Structure 1
Amino acid sequence: MLNFDFYNPTRILFGKDRLQGIDRYIPADATVLITYGGGSAKKSGLIDKVKAVLGKRKISEFGGIEPNPRYETLIKAVETVQKEKIDFLLAVGGGSVIDGTKFVALASYYKGNSRDLLNYAFKPIPLDVVGKAVPFGTILTLPATGSEMNSGAVISYEHGKFIVISQLAFPRFSILDPTLTFTLPRNQVANGVIDAFVHTMEQYLTYPVGGRLQDHIAEGILQTLIEIGFTTVAEPENYEARANLVWCATLALNGIVGAGVPQDWATHFIGHELTSLFGIDHGQTLAIVLPAVLEIRREQKRAKLLQYAERVWHMGDGGEEEKIDSAIEKTREFFESLGVKTHLSQYGIGADKIPVIIEQLKAHGMTALSETQDLTLDISRKILERAL
């Protein structure tokens, strides 16, 4: 097992009817900015319920944080924080709203050009760069990204998606009430299942380092998602299935699975370019890219692919190649069972677009990806060709 540091201060309030918890964990004299997305939280009455719990606290609202939250939108929220002297943020929404709120929390106290906060790639922003952030909590309405219990965010700017990480970006608390996700559209639930699945795979399907507990936790998450994935898409008010999805999505990226083991993230980085260039949903890009990554990188990932085949898909018979082939095909079939396409061509993207994608990867410094940093642009091209 590799050396690691683990830190996660987020308090989780899980289950039905947990909104009252925010009254305990937001200071009584706080000036609160509620952030949310396209308006569903408002139309559903959730924002009004939140405001009722907040009681006599001074409250402002900032709506319109879009999927793949844009820097330009978030800067307007920063201006609101500074103008209204906001001292607590409350994100109501899914990963995009929470990610955007994290950036607002960091940028509101930053003295320089806040665009500089997008330049740290996969490295945490040093504390001497941003020494203070606005504290915030979250009310999760879309299980997918795990942002409700980690310190990372993905922010869109110009034609790229940028990762922002800071230990100041952990939520103080997160409300995880599965019933708040019942009204989600079917495609968003499917995307969430895939996002949680691939988050786990990025940290699990690399190479063995003796992280037995991490492996078993990852396998448990993957098996649970396989068991409940179709059910929670088809039966949106099945509480048991949806509760398991919510908790899987949180655990998939709260630091536990990736502690002390190698991590890949090539699928995500390639997928980000597909979203930026063609507007394909994040979860859909992962369903396109992951099977192709596993096929092209099967030799580098052989040991863990066999473990994945045997422990997650319960393949006991056949030779190594047959098991690997079957495990990759089972993965693709699982995504497709959720109603998600798994080929670029199904989105009208042909081979003529691959050079454009490669140029974007190059422009964003994605020239040496994977857990071994040997996934070159030529290999990314092969992955995209296989994904056609």
Structure 2
Amino acid sequence: MQFTYSNPTQIHFGQGQIAAIADVIPAQSKVLVIYGGGSIKKNGVYDQVTDALKNHTWLDFAGVEPNPTKETLDKAVAIAKQEQIDFILAVGGGSVIDGSKYVAAAAKYDGDGWDILTGKYTIESALPIGAILTLPATGSESNPAAVITKAETQDKLPFMHPSVRPVFAVLDPDAMKTLPERQLVNGIADAWVHTCEQYITRPTNAAVQDGYAETLLRNLKTLGEQFAVRDNDAWRANLMWSANQALSGLIGQGVPQDWATHMIGHELTALWHVDHARSLTIIQPSLLRNQIDYKRAKLEQMGRNVFGFANSDDLAERTIDAIEAFYKQLGLETKLTEHTGNKETAINAVIDQLTKHGLTSLGENQSITLEKSREILENAIG
């Protein structure tokens, strides 16, 4: 329980809040609006943004893909530099917001933006960012982290810096109304695993963090169970806020964090374009079983406080089974079958990538060696 915590992102939550950007983006700023495949032009969000920015000078950049690539984002960086952009407005889900963070930082750097991901360049400053969230999942709208893919080399790497934390975020649940079922399910899974990465480690007596994490997990479990009747304001609002709080920074303060599921899962996405959330549900159950000796106490706590299980000698094992059953109930994969080639070739491909990226000791105990990663993949890959 030793930490310094600050989250200065201003949140505008609720219906109609997109209009707030008219006042929170400085009037003199030249704005670059960054978005994805164009769904915001079909659901009314783009029209609301246009109306709110009617007194601003602004340009837009479309086409940021799921798991945003350096190759696409560098085009936006060039525009930001050429047009002397003062402010970035990300309109979309985690991929768009992550990509906008890359643009904001790379626009203030004379070299190749990928240097940020490899550590060759340490961010000194970035353009200010605002976010309008349309897909609740990653919490990127109020945290300082991003994950970017270099398609040319199939590398997917994270970076983190305070200067790319959005200065404000608009969370209007109405923006979710037209989202496909697959994306909503992914959002639940992403928020769930984000919470688990900060919770299923070892006991620390951090009562607030544990209690808040358990509340988020119970909320997400309930939202999953209510998925068939999801078309209502309360369901959308609770998912949007739960996903934000899962990775806003609070529940991870002063406690050990894991993130091995993410590090291994990133390689599945980079190699075979597996949806980010589904890469997590594929890896996590196998990882938890592999690391159960370290995680038994917290798994038992989760079993009691999230799933309502009674104490038993196999409580940790039953909790992992329940997590996997939750994913399957939502139609999420828990085995990788999308790889090319045979199982051994697929495992070797992931191990090669982990080695290349220096991810040879993962988890809160650094106990997931390459050998352990191979064991996890043996169970996670079909």
2:215 counterpart residue number: 220
CA contact (8 A) 2:18 2:52 kept: yes
Matched, 1:339 2:331: yes
1:180 to 2:175 alignment? yes
State which drifts further: 365-374 or 104-113.
Answer: 104-113
Inter-CA distance 170–340: structure 2 relative to 1 (3 Å threshold): same
The TM-score with structure 2 as length reference comes to 0.96
Q: Name the residue aligned to 1:351.
A: 343
| Contact persistence 2:137–2:243 (CA under 8 A) | yes
Q: 1:314-333 maps to which residues of 2 (within 5 A)?
A: 314-319=308-313, 322-333=314-325
In structure 2, distance between residues paired with 1:90 and 1:167? 17
Write the distance in 2 (CA, Å) between the matches of 1:35 and 1:336.
34
Q: Distance in 2 between matches of 1:114 and 1:141?
A: 26
1:110 and 1:52 map into 2 onto residues whose CA distance is 32
| Aligned residue runs from structure 1 range 143-158, under 5 A | 143-157=136-150, 158=153
Aligned ranges for residues 3-14 of structure 1 at < 5 Å? 3-14=2-13
2:284 to 258, 282, 290: 290
Per-residue Cα deviation, 1:174-220 (whole angstroms, up to 9, x for no partner): 00011101111111111110000000000000011221110001000
How far residue 349 of structure 1 moved from its aligned partner, in angstroms, is 7.1
Query: How far has the Cα of 1:347 moved from its partner?
Result: 6.5
* Structure 2 residue identity aligned to 1:132: S
* Structure 1: 4+ residue segments shifted above 3 A: 345-350
**Contact 2:104–2:126 (CA under 8 A) maintained in structure 1:** yes
Q: CA deviation at 1:136?
A: 1.4
Q: Does 1:264 align with 2:263?
A: no
Cα deviation per residue 1:222-263 (whole Å; 9 max; x = unaligned)? 0100011242x4334221111111111101111101000000
The match for 2:129 among 126, 136, 139 is: 136
Aligned to 2:186: 191
Instruction: Evaluate the alpha carbon distance shift between residue 17 and residue 382 of structure 1 in structure 2; reply closer, same or farther with a 3 A threshold.
Output: same
Match of 1:344, SS state, is coil
Which residue identity does 2:282 align to in structure 1?
Answer: I
TM-score, length-normalised on structure 1? 0.94
2:100 maps to 101
Query: Taking structure 1 as reference, are residues 13 and 349 closer, same or farther at Cα in structure 2, changes over 3 Å only?
Result: farther
Q: Who is 2:366 aligned against?
A: 373
The amino acid that maps onto 1:359 is: D
Task: Look up the SS of the partner of 1:134 in the other structure.
Answer: coil
CA distance in 1, matches of 2:310, 2:316: 12
Q: Which moved more, 1:263-272 or 1:50-59?
A: 50-59
Q: Per-residue CA shift, 1:257-309, capped at 9, x if unaligned? A: 10000000000011001111111101111111111111110001111111111
2:205 pairs with one of 210, 214, 218: 210
Distance 1:368 1:238, change over 3 A: same
On the 8 A contact 2:297/2:316 being kept in 1, the answer is: no
Other structure's SS at 1:130 match: coil
Q: How far apart, CA to CA, are the structure 2 residues paired with 1:31 and 1:92?
A: 16
1:337 CA drift (Å): 1.0
* Aligned counterpart in structure 2 of residue 200 of structure 1, from 195, 202, 205: 195
Cα gap change, 1:349 to 1:15, in 2 (>3 Å): farther
1:186–1:234 contact (8 Å) kept in structure 2 = no
* Distance in 1 separating the partners of 2:95 and 2:110: 24
CA-atom RMSD in angstroms? 1.5
Task: Provide Cα deviations, 1:20-60, integer angstroms capped at 9, x if missing partner.
Answer: 11011011122111100011112333212211111121110
The within-5 A match list for 1:111-130 is: 111-120=110-119, 129-130=122-123
Mapping for residues 69-88 of structure 1, pairs under 5 Å: 69-88=68-87
Unaligned runs of at least 5 residues, structure 2: none
**Preserved contact between residue 94 and residue 137 of structure 2 (Cα < 8 Å):** yes
Alpha-carbon distance, 1:344 to partner: 1.7
1:68–1:155: 8 Å Cα contact kept in structure 2?
Answer: yes
Q: Work out whether residues 207 and 262 of structure 1, in 8 Å CA contact, stay in contact via their aligned partners in 2.
A: yes
Identity over aligned pairs, percent: 45
Contact 1:203-1:262 at 8 Å conserved across structures: yes
